[in-house]
Amino acid sequence: MSNPQVLRRLKTIEGHLRGIIRMVEEDAYCIDIIRQIQAVEAALNKVSGIILEDHLNSCVITAIRGDDPAERERVLKEIQEVFETATKV
């Protein structure tokens, strides 16, 4: 997957994370650091949603429309596992 929007967002997040590292190194106020971490988490969740949407609209649709029942089961199980993992956090 080479989505320019995703790459741009990830590079922005990378820069933001470097800023958080600097804040910790400079002993910034804890609540300010936590707020910045929450912003990075929200940005990562957005990227995750974009990637999931792309996956659902490509790989999953292709598998569901396909003739291989094992492939349909596999992609549906993957989606289920992603959501189970997300709710454990």
**pLDDT tens per residue, the chain (89 residues)?**
668 999 999 999 999 999 999 999 999 999 999 999 999 999 999 999 999 999 999 988 998 899 999 999 999 999 999 888 888 85
Chain-centroid distance of CA 17 in Å reads: 15
Count of domains observed in the chain: 1
pLDDT the model gives residue 88: 80
pLDDT the model gives residue 83: 86
Range of the domain at 62: 4-88
Q: Where are the alpha helices (DSSP H) in the chain?
A: 4-25, 30-55, 61-65, 69-88
Check which CATH number belongs to the domain holding 32 and give it: 1.20.58.1000
Token duo for residue 11: 């590079």
